Structure 1
Amino acid sequence: MSEKLLEVRDVRKSFSVPHAKNRLCALDGVTLDLDRGETLGLVGESGCGKSTLARTLMMLERPDSGTVRFDGVDPFTLKGSALLQFRSRVQMVFQDPYASLNARMSAADLIAEPWRSHKGAVKNRKDRDLRVRGLLDLVGLSASAADKYPQQFSGGQRQRIGIARALALNPDVVICDEPVSALDLSVQAQVLNLLNDLQQQLKISYIFISHDLSVVRHVADRVAVMYLGRIIENGPTEAVFARSDHPYTAALMSAAPTLDGAARKQRILLEGEVPSPIDPPSGCRFRTRCWKATEVCATTTPAPSVDPQHPEHSALCHHPLLLEGSGLEPVPA
């Protein structure tokens, strides 16, 4: 089997907006890969397209153009039992552990809910109960939790139930949409450690969506930075954090808190508002807020600049911050 579990190529998605002249461009040529057993961190400001990308990968949205291949197969061509099988392989953990669980259902019923759609996943009631208790144990909850209702759990425990539900169908990919943002810091660490342990044990892959750069640095193997529907920087986590090449990524990193005040990078303050995705800037999407912007940024969409020593690290920028003396070279169009 290929190491590439998920391959996204030049995916575009737009939406019609009432009384607007143009369509809202949510995804504009998104390209990324996800390897088996890997965690891909997806970061960016609100409205950049992270959730639309997640919904597209879950097949809740159909792209206008581009291709999505999962294990070599285009899921948008599947029908019937093949489509149902695909849906079992990609699951999601939601942001709000309070809103994502039905208060009228017990923990056991919530975890077993996916099996109602996927007939044959469990043999009988006894098998169902055994598997529910096994999943509860897997996420660090006792068997006695099976008969309790969401309002009887803390936020962290609710999220553990959400994780157990996502694992019920033995998925290959779990999309985590801000899974710890609604939790206290101490509980965040527990849930993140749980996700890491589950990945090591079950060999699953994560797409981890977050605004919190410190969380992404802790959990992700690679990072993709989004801005106005485009992935503008992509590479191994430590490479992106150590030497951000896109000005937008550098601004995000400069705002991240650090334990060592003396080592804090100079804060980069961006001027202006994020442009509307209904009428995005020409050329480089970030040029209206970028201090390095020149005329070429307004007229030409930038090609990725890559580091020959680390070809997996690229930035979609005409003027990468570390181009001079770093070995970075623009890729010919």
Structure 2
Amino acid sequence: MSESMLAVRDLRKSFHVAGGGKKKLCALDGITLDLARGETLGLVGESGCGKSTLARTLLMLEKPDSGSVQFDGVDPFSLRGKDLLKFRRRVQMVFQDPYASLNARMSAGDIIAEPWRSHPGTYRNRRERQTRVRGLLDLVGLGAGAADKYPQEFSGGQRQRIGIARALALDPDVIICDEPVSALDLSVQAQVLNLLNELQQQLGIAYIFISHDLSVVRHVADRVAVMYLGRIIETGPTEAVFDRPNHPYTAALMSAAPTLDGAQRKQRILLKGEVPSPLNPPSGCRFRTRCWKATEICATTEPPAALDPAVVGHAAGCHHPLLSEGATLTSVPA
């Protein structure tokens, strides 16, 4: 998983606010991340931090104000015509709500085959399409007989399997999963997560997995990126971010995660105050208004990305990181 397929650098996206005059809401502010082939990147953070906006931008449903996105060295926003259509096959999405994301008037087979209407020529004839639909239904564990049934005839977990099959229809390299199991029962969540893992092992797909459920992210992700008010404030291997968070916000987030082992439960960190408005974010460090370690430099200077020498690939943007005794951070240029 060392080969970087997706490279995002200093991505920024703002939205005009209705009735706000010249005010803009900064949804993404300098996002930088990488995604390797066959890797799962977990994206976590509070509601409104920019996770879904980042997903929509990578899907090319939003155009960034600045920064760059590279898929295998190609900028998708520079593509036009057939090249753009060909690229759109590479990134697909599994939605949060398995009920609202499927058309109740279409059969499961028609839902899965619908992407091919936008990509004519994928299969030569109807027989090939029907064979592929049956194959996808078998792949996600529903069976070919489900093709003629309608969404209302399936359970929530089965509907999400149809959504996954639809995402696989165009043989993508990346699937963005936006809270794909949050609407499902706990036992069904495990089945869907196991399915996603099996598909990744078979097909080599990379996932960007957006979730509020930290236990789910810990189970599925190879690396984790933590977002706060439009910025990625910490990123690294999953175990390192969960067990050795370097940013105070990450530490507070992880301390709130439930655990079955009472002896190993971390002391809960309660943050004071509310999340600042993205219309008027704090200067310097975005988290400083809620941080117990904030000093004057936090208000005047944006913290640089910094590497933790104890864990390869673990970085946090903080002037006063929470490190184990004797460890230091090595600043790296933005």
- Compute the TM-score of the two structures, normalised by the length of structure 2: 0.98
**How far apart, in 1, do the equivalents of 2:205 and 2:306 lie?**
31
AA aligned to 1:210 is: S
Contact preservation (8 Å) 2:309, 2:327: no
Deviation per residue, 1:106-154 (Å, 9 max, x gap): 0000000000010111111111111000000000001111000000000
| 1:93 lines up with 2:109 in the alignment | no
**How far apart, in 2, do the equivalents of 1:128 and 1:36 lie?**
27
**How far apart, in 2, do the equivalents of 1:332 and 1:166 lie?**
37
**How far apart, in 2, do the equivalents of 1:251 and 1:329 lie?**
23
AA aligned to 1:68 is: V
Query: Structure 2, unaligned stretches of length 5 or more?
Result: none
Aligned to 1:211: 212
Aligned to 1:183: 184
Deviates more, 1:307-316 or 1:80-89: 307-316
Deviation per residue, 1:44-99 (Å, 9 max, x gap): 00000000000000000000000000111000000011000110010000000000
Measured after TM superposition, the shift of residue 332 of structure 1 is 6.1
AA aligned to 1:6 is: L
Contact preservation (8 Å) 2:235, 2:241: yes
Q: Secondary structure of the residue that 1:312 maps to in structure 2?
A: coil
Contact preservation (8 Å) 2:247, 2:321: yes
Aligned to 2:12: 12
Percent identity between matched residues is: 80
Moved over 6 A (4+): none
The 5 A counterparts of 1:168-317 are 168-317=169-318
| 1:78 lines up with 2:42 in the alignment | no
Measured after TM superposition, the shift of residue 324 of structure 1 is 4.7
**How far apart, in 1, do the equivalents of 2:307 and 2:34 lie?**
16
AA aligned to 2:8 is: V
**How far apart, in 2, do the equivalents of 1:172 and 1:86 lie?**
10
Query: Structure 1, unaligned stretches of length 5 or more?
Result: none
AA aligned to 1:250 is: A
Measured after TM superposition, the shift of residue 310 of structure 1 is 2.5
**How far apart, in 1, do the equivalents of 2:310 and 2:265 lie?**
27
Aligned to 2:165: 164
| 1:140 lines up with 2:141 in the alignment | yes
**How far apart, in 2, do the equivalents of 1:67 and 1:331 lie?**
19
AA aligned to 1:170 is: D
- Compute the TM-score of the two structures, normalised by the length of structure 1: 0.98
Deviates more, 1:139-148 or 1:13-22: 13-22
**How far apart, in 2, do the equivalents of 1:329 and 1:117 lie?**
48
Give the number of equivalent residue pairs.
333
Deviates more, 1:97-106 or 1:307-316: 307-316
**How far apart, in 1, do the equivalents of 2:324 and 2:194 lie?**
36
Contact preservation (8 Å) 1:305, 1:320: no
